[in-house]
């Protein structure tokens, strides 16, 4: 199982737009083969900073999603909203 955490910093005026995009696309991402969970988290002190947390069966499933038309379409909508570069981490549970 792979846990993917992506930290996203938005221009403050675009945070609600991102939340709408997330809500519109969450179901399609969850339906993507190998995806088990997708959550949206907001920084307690900086509301323009959010993270997506997703669980994938394996790295191959995550990479199929990252190479998909679905990801490309979502990314094209989200990228112009950024206020800083995103940071992504793929992790495995140890215990």
Q: Which CATH class is domain 2-85?
A: alpha beta
Give the pLDDT confidence score for residue 28 in this predicted structure: 97
- Tens digits of residue pLDDT in 40-59: 999 999 999 999 999 999 99
What pLDDT score was predicted for residue 16? 97
In the chain, domain spans = 2-85
For the whole model, what pTM was predicted?
A: 0.93
CA torsion sign for 13, 15, 16, 22 is positive
Burial of 92 (0-12, 13-18, 19+ CB in 10 A): exposed
């Amino acid at each position: 199982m792979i846990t993917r955490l992506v930290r996203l910093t938005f221009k403050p005026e675009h945070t609600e737009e991102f939340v709408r995009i997330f809500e519109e696309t969450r179901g399609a991402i969850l339906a993507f083969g190998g995806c088990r969970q997708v959550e949206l988290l907001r920084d307690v002190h900086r509301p323009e900073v959010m993270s997506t947390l997703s669980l994938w069966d394996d790295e191959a499933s995550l990479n199929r999603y990252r190479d998909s038309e679905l990801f490309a379409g979502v990314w094209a909508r989200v990228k112009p909203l950024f206020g800083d570069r995103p940071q992504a981490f793929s992790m495995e549970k140890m215990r």
